[in-house]
Amino acid sequence: MGERSRFVVSPDWLEAHLHDPGLVIVDGSWYLPDQGRDARAEYDAAHIPGAVFFDHDAVVDPSSDLPHTLPAPSVFEQHASAMGIARTDTIVVYDGPGMFTAPRVWWMFRIMGADSVFVLDGGFDNWQAQGRPVTDAPTRTAGTAFVPHCNARAIVTFNAMRQIVDDRSAQIADARGPGRFAGTEPEPRAGMRAGHMPGARNVPFGELSDNGYLKDLDGLRAVFERAGIDLDEPVVTTCGSGVTAAVINLALASLGVDDSRLYDGSWSQWGGRRDTPVETGPADG
């Protein structure tokens, strides 16, 4: 096995450090309707001891009509503080299958200024299958103060995305599957056009991991190389609603690309409008 990402922790490491002071474990699971899984119900039935639940549908901008819009720092502060998380804590995030929605939570905490944030390699499904500790006991949290330092530059707005598409000032890495990217498969959300932004490259998030474990650094480089992404040039990530795009940001950061940005509106915004250019078929070149 080659060199691993500095932003993931192994199940062995987490099990050995479950009771460390200043360690916060976050269940960041979320599922699409067709996956047939209820993240909150699964958390209530079994979670890693001490884990708190991060609700992707609640920690959002309440004024936005788009799904999973990043909230203002003051709103994020309220939620994180209620979960008992401080910006200075060591935060380990997991989801069910691994490398699906946990990277979005990793990205959000980092955007809001937390420096010590990691993703559990393999996810909870593998953790549970390996017979590691789980509980259904509610996690008691003491209120704390999460003081955000938001890195607004890492968030791409709609207007900025239009400019990027027009002037090709950054590479666009789309995390959706090849069928949705090419427009041969329908979008899961009603009213979405099929296809991708002009100039985008397809980096399906599932290709960045194996069985829920993030690929080693050589494996990650190979995925980006096949997709035609130059790691020395600016990259903006996108997906359906801004969630799985963060898997690409995690992979890029693992390779030392610390300045990648994420288009938060993603295809829910771009594909839901009628005044944005859309292409179908595989990526050019």
The catalytic residues are 239
At 247, which amino acid appears? V
SS3 166: helix
User: Are 51 and 82 within 8 A, CB to CB?
Assistant: no
Mutual orientation of helices 217-227 and 245-254 as an angle, nearest 10°?
A: 120
Q: What is the SS3 string spanning 179-194?
A: HHHHCCCCCCCCCCCC
- The span from the first CA to the last CA of the chain, in angstroms, equals 32
CA distance 22 to 84: 11
SS3 135: strand
- Residue partners of 117: CB distance under 8 A and separation at least 6: 7, 91, 92, 93, 106, 109, 110
User: Are 224 and 216 within 8 A, CB to CB?
Assistant: no
Helix, strand, coil percent content, the chain, rounded in steps of 5 = 30, 15, 55
The two structure tokens encoding residue 82: 């209620």
How crowded is residue 206: how many other Cβ atoms within 10 Å of its Cβ? 14
- What CA–CA distances, in Å, run from 71 to 62, 84, 150? 7, 18, 11
CA distance 16 to 194: 46
At 139, which amino acid appears? T
